[in-house]
């Protein structure tokens, strides 16, 4: 039997006032607000008219953010707002899975998460993942208190959604030649409008905001394979079958490109109700811009000294375009390599923490997801053991747990600009839902603990919950790694 004091993640306070008792039935008869009822059904909680009463109150006592109070013949969830109530429901789901429905009678108290932004990212371009696979992930991440899904929808190896008037996005940009067979087979995938809406609705029912990403101005080979007139050369190229950084990028001076981008952003804004659209901005070579007459003309017209300033101009124009549709732009930290960009852009600091330092000093909000040292790239190896799957570098679970998301070395006014963090999943070497599950979990749970508790996290406590974590993941039908947590 699991010790009730060491089972839930993120950690909460437990009051064992009803020892040796558990709930009398393995099902719940819910008397809940509609949004909680939807969340519970989406999580798969066993609701039945014959179950024990499951009640809700929006008035937690003793100033706690939320409480799950379990008695033998009823359960009450307390939450001061919708987020708190959904978090409490996630805790209840964990308890149900850990104790096989025989939840011990206790009161579980939790406080408001330190980080408002608690995200996970999935690249569906290098390899394609179905709506069902994404739903499985959304369900699991919601149980552990994540509230953001960053959906990477375009890259060199594939474009995954439609834009009215541009049919080649599906017929050409969504697929590439298979590298596994030499018989002309193609690999790819495409999300129809109903697919996008299904993911948004499922996520919304769980209290998760979906942030779509369209890569600009680099990582655009798939788009240029379909519409070469959006690039600098106009040459016919193929959707990439390999991985890396490629010189074929968008032409900032192309009016046709900007007409397309306007329609693409309009499409995303119409389907994704959240406040953000990610515009990429990373790893964009400027080789084709250097001597391109149209690019040089834009630079002269706008008074731009070099191509780095040209990329800054591009970023700012994209940010304004996004704002036209009531959204706020996000970009990878290369966007602040330019000396100035639109102040509204939120910066994702992935190349270590220097991007966060530079961005906050210039007044930008920041999301932390550092690859180097921070461990937030979950496609990396768990350990240095030669039997572990992964790519490029190490990301031990302990590194994720230890990362300081508050960045105390920054001035206080800059610290306030940090919104939170996320774990990124790039899929160059990951082809299946089961493969990405293994790389996410349990690393993502260390991230959940960190983002929720901040300075109050405790490594020894987290270690004590290892087997309970595994039990929850098994109950959710997740594949996970049992690799050691410290390398």
Q: What is the pLDDT of residue 5?
A: 87
Q: Which of 89, 110, 131 is the last residue of a domain?
A: 110
Q: Bridge partners of 347?
A: 331, 366
Task: Answer with the residue of higher pLDDT: 20 or 409.
Answer: 409
Q: What is the pLDDT of residue 226?
A: 98
Q: How far apart are CA 192 and CA 418, in angstroms?
A: 34
Report whether pLDDT(20) > 80: no
87 Cβ contact partners less than 8 Å away, ≥ 6 residues apart: 65, 66, 79, 110, 113, 145
Half-sphere exposure of 261 (CA within 13 A, CB side): 31
Q: What is the pLDDT of residue 17?
A: 66
> What is the percentage of the chain residues whose pLDDT exceeds 70?
99
- Considering the domain architecture, whether residues 49 and 141 belong to the same structural domain is answered as no
- Considering the domain architecture, whether residues 432 and 375 belong to the same structural domain is answered as yes
Q: What band does 19 get if pLDDT is binned at 50, 70 and 90?
A: low
Tens digit of each residue's pLDDT (9 = 90 or more) over 129-188:
999 999 999 999 999 999 999 999 999 999 999 999 999 999 999 999 999 999 999 999
Report whether pLDDT(60) > 80: no
The reply to whether 337 falls in a domain is: yes
Under 8 Å between Cβ of 348 and 328: no
The domain that contains 304 carries what CATH number?
A: 3.20.20.80
How many Cβ atoms are within 10 Å of 436's Cβ, its own excluded? Answer: 23
Q: Mean of the pLDDT values across residues 401-423?
A: 94
Q: Mean of the pLDDT values across residues 51-56?
A: 97
Under 8 Å between Cβ of 453 and 444: no
Q: Which range (62-71, 84-93, 129-138) has the least confidence?
A: 62-71
- Considering the domain architecture, whether residues 246 and 189 belong to the same structural domain is answered as yes
Q: Which of 110, 132, 167 is the last residue of a domain?
A: 110
The reply to whether 467 falls in a domain is: yes
- List the one residue out of 65, 181, 189 whose CA is nearest residue 126: 189
Q: Which domain holds residue 301?
A: 117-475
- Considering the domain architecture, whether residues 226 and 368 belong to the same structural domain is answered as yes
Tens digit of each residue's pLDDT (9 = 90 or more) over 325-351:
999 999 999 999 999 999 999 999 999
Q: Mean of the pLDDT values across residues 359-369?
A: 97
Q: Please list the active-site residues.
A: 155, 219, 283
Q: What band does 447 get if pLDDT is binned at 50, 70 and 90?
A: very high
- Considering the domain architecture, whether residues 271 and 402 belong to the same structural domain is answered as yes
Half-sphere exposure of 298 (CA within 13 A, CB side): 21
Q: Mean of the pLDDT values across residues 259-266?
A: 98
CA angle (8 as vertex; 4, 10 as ends), nearest 5:
145
The domain that contains 74 carries what CATH number?
A: 3.30.379.10
Report whether pLDDT(18) > 70: no
Q: Mean of the pLDDT values across residues 39-62?
A: 93
- Considering the domain architecture, whether residues 122 and 138 belong to the same structural domain is answered as yes
Q: Mean of the pLDDT values across residues 286-291?
A: 96
Q: Mean of the pLDDT values across residues 240-267?
A: 98
Q: What band does 63 get if pLDDT is binned at 50, 70 and 90?
A: confident
User: What is the helix, strand, coil percentage profile of the chain, to 5?
Assistant: 35, 20, 45
Report whether pLDDT(321) > 70: yes
Q: What is the pLDDT of residue 85?
A: 96
| Number of structural domains in the chain | 2
Q: What is the pLDDT of residue 202?
A: 98
139 Cβ contact partners less than 8 Å away, ≥ 6 residues apart: 42, 43, 44, 206, 476
Dihedral sign of CA atoms 43, 48, 54, 58 in order:
positive
Q: How far apart are CA 197 and CA 343, in angstroms?
A: 30
Q: Which of 110, 127, 143 is the last residue of a domain?
A: 110
Q: What band does 1 get if pLDDT is binned at 50, 70 and 90?
A: confident
What are the structure tokens assigned to 91, written together? 């805790």
How many helices (DSSP H) and strands (DSSP E) are in the chain? Answer: 17, 18
């Amino acid at each position: 039997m699991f010790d009730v004091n060491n089972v839930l993640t993120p950690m909460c306070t437990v009051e064992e006032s009803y020892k040796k008792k558990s709930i009398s039935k393995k099902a719940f008869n819910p008397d809940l607000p509609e949004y909680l009822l939807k969340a519970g059904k989406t999580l798969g909680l066993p609701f039945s008219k014959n179950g024990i009463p499951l009640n809700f109150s929006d008035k937690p006592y003793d100033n706690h953010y939320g409480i799950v109070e379990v008695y033998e013949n009823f359960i009450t969830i307390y939450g001061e707002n919708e987020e708190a109530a959904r978090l409490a429901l996630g805790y209840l789901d964990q308890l149900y899975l850990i104790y096989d429905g025989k939840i011990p009678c206790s009161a579980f108290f939790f406080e408001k998460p330190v980080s408002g932004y608690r995200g996970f990212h999935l690249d569906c371009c290098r390899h394609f993942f179905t709506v069902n696979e994404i739903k499985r992930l959304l369900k699991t991440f919601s149980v552990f208190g994540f509230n953001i899904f960053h959906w990477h929808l375009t890259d060199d190896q594939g474009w995954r959604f439609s834009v009215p008037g541009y049919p080649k996005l599906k017929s050409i940009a969504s697929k590439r030649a298979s590298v596994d067979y030499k018989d002309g087979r193609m690999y790819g995938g495409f999300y129809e409008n109903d697919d996008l809406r299904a993911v948004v609705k499922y996520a919304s029912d769980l209290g998760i905001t979906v942030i779509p990403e369209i890569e600009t101005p680099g990582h655009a080979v798939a788009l240029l394979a379909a519409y070469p007139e959006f690039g600098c050369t106009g040459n016919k190229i193929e959707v990439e079958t390999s991985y890396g950084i490629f010189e074929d990028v968008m032409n900032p001076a192309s009016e046709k490109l900007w007409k397309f981008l306007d329609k693409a952003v309009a499409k995303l804004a119409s389907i994704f109700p959240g406040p953000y659209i990610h515009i990429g901005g990373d790893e964009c070579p400027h080789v084709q811009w250097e001597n391109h007459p149209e690019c040089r003309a834009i630079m002269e017209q706008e008074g731009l000294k070099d191509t780095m300033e040209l990329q800054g101009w591009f970023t700012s124009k994209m940010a304004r375009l996004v704002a036209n549709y009531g959204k706020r732009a996000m970009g990878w930290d290369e966007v602040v390599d330019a000396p100035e960009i639109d102040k509204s852009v939120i910066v994702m600091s992935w190349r270590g923490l220097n991007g966060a330092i530079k961005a906050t000093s210039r007044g930008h909000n920041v999301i932390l997801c550092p690859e180097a040292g921070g461990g937030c790239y979950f496609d990396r190896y768990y350990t240095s053991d030669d039997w572990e799957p992964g790519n490029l570098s190490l990301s031990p679970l302990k590194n994720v747990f230890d990362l300081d998301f508050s960045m105390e070395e920054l001035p206080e006014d800059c610290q306030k600009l940090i919104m939170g963090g996320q774990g990124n999943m790039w899929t160059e070497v990951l082809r299946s839902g089961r493969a990405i599950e293994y790389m996410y979990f349990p690393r993502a749970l260390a991230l959940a603990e960190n983002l929720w508790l901040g300075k109050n996290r405790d490594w020894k406590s987290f270690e004590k919950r290892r087997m309970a974590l595994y039990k929850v993941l098994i109950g959710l039908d997740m594949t996970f790694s049992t690799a050691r947590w410290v390398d």
